[in-house]
A and B are shown apart, each in its own frame.
Chain A
Amino acid sequence: MPIISGVYEVIWDATFQLVLLGSLLIGATSGTLGAFAVLRRRSLLGDALAHAALPGVALAFLWTQSKALPILLLGATVSGVVGVLIIEAIVNYTRIKADAALGIVLSVFFGGGIVLLTHIQQSEVGNQSGLDKFLFGQAASIVRTDLYVMCIVSALVMIAVFLFFKEFKGLIFDAEFLSALGFSQRVVDLLLMGLIVLTVMVGLQAVGVILIAAMLITPAAAARFWTDRLHVMVLVSGILGALCGALGVGLSALAPRIPTGPVMVLVATAAFLISVLIAPRRGVLARWVRLRANALRENGQHFLRAYLALQTQDKEEVVLADLASELQLPLYRVRRLAKRLGRDGWVNTHNGACSLTELGHKEANFVVKSHQLWEYYLVYRSILEEDHVDRPADEVEHILTPEIIEQLELILAQEDIDVSGDIHKMGSGYRRTGKDE
């Protein structure tokens, strides 16, 4: 198996391990900070910042003629920060809105960067300056000293996140309340922006100016699906980011011609889509399953109400065909429903007819009671006229929690309203009748 042995070779290669470690760090840092950036709606500002860094890289090279990473990144940081300051100035002092200001700085700085890069390329005949790796990223160019820089910056970012977690949380959730508590919103915002700058800069070499923003945004957006707690989200986002970084580098090592940045971004996108699909509570699958369960329960409750409506004093049993016409459903669906309710121990079916078990009666009574309580409430509060109380009641009754029912009983009891009597014949809202028009 040549491919597999090839993979082994690559993995045990010392240079590759270095590169892998670097990408892992980049992914973890941008993932962690991305959670805050996304929630504070600064994700696209990160994009502008990254694009604006390009002319800085080129200018740093032109001035120093050096390709040392710290020098290039210093240039990148300066021009990136200048870009962000210009965005702020445009928004504060002119009538141009934030989105246009962002787009202007992003594209004009990038254009300036392109001019400088092409100038460098064309004036140095035959000598590739290697600056174009900053466009799409080339993780393979990470060397040992670069790794030290990355380690230091990542450690700084992580420590800051740990120390100022509370402040960032306040900033994201309710910035005005944070300032009311005596924290300067401006300072906390600046701190967060500073950390975003550091994170973007450290990832420039491996991911590139064009796509580094995705490493901030995508893992964080994916993490949001797994949890509702901020600290868990930050953790998940960091881990996802690290995984995407490592996996992206691993994949692009197999095809060295392809730049690392886009591969990492595609891996992150895949992670996002998988999260959307399978995340336990907010995920699409989980929600689909729950909707389906809800629908089944509603149908069951309609079945029970229809049963009570058809049941007569002397006869316990109700014929399924009658139920079908009462519910206006095809017979086969009513059969299936009866079977399912049978499994729940509510209904006994025999020879095309069914009867409720004791458990089934209890459930049916509960359904009818909550329906009636809700109707009484609506009419009592003069929310609805008596004659069309039924349809909305029908929508709501399935989902009234025991707490709401308790409250309803309490309210109606306080007002001394007799719930046992009939205000009108129990409705038949379970029929899927057409709209009025």
Chain B
Amino acid sequence: MSSRSSYLIRRVLHGFMALFIIATLLFFLFRLGLPDPTAALITEGLNPEERERIRASFGLDRPIWEQYLIYLANILQGDFGYSFHYRAPVADIIWERLGNTMVLMLPAIVLAYAVGAPLGAWLSWRRGSKVDTSGIFVGLMFRSAPMFWTGMIAILVFGIGLGWLPTSGMRTLPYEASGFFDKIFTLDFLHHLILPALVVALYYLGSPLLIMRNTMLEVYGEDFIEMARAKGLPERRILYAHAARNALLPVVTQLAVTIGLAAGGQVVVEVVFSWPGLGREILNSVRTSDFPLAQASFLVMAAFVVTLNLLVDILYTMLDPRVSFK
């Protein structure tokens, strides 16, 4: 077996290990830490027998070890259980919320990187100038402002003040959509997407901008740049064809990591813009002690992060020949 494939197999195993530990951790944290989900029903005047019946129907009356084993077995079969709160299969809810989160986060992140990386390269070329300083300033400024606040201000200005854009939800209510794609392939959806996506993009902009700029500065010191310069190549060609291409690796890495974390969504953005995404759902599910939904949401997020981190490592082994497979 080559060292590369054994390295990959090991990394995949590690990923699964991490997920298993997270699943276990979550299970016991929730069971031991959160209030009984039927506690809320008691206040609605439920008698104790009725409550026991509901507990039994959710399997909450069994010993915790038994619950744990059933839970693990179910996950392995891809069965995430049944939401207490929605009275519907958890998987259906999660896929829908994950989709909602992704149609917001992916365009926003891609936009941030598509603008930020070239901008960072350009700033590095003009290093030390006023343009460089103000570019860094703007990038860091949006990075420093809490996203929920930027969102609130954006709603105030563009939603309420100027009345240009809708400020809440994914579609104008009431609407009918037969499916997920039916829901998002409309102008109305795009209209709703603009404001939250811009807010997220502005926040993420600083990261590719600074990474690109700093890596470019490092690359300028490399011998092959001197070589290109010695060959008399034009500055612009050296910048984009030689330096930028080599500086792209850390940016791509960061992009993958960011996308991995995006599954959790930016909870605050979803809250501020009433976006029905996974982040908001996870908050609600923990608040209502909806164990199956909360566990599954956490797991999906964790799986996303672990997978994307794995992809980053694989990407590195392919793109950067200096990385060893130890």
Do A and B pair up? The answer is no
B residues sitting closer than 8 Å to A (CB atoms) are none
A residues sitting closer than 8 Å to B (CB atoms) are none
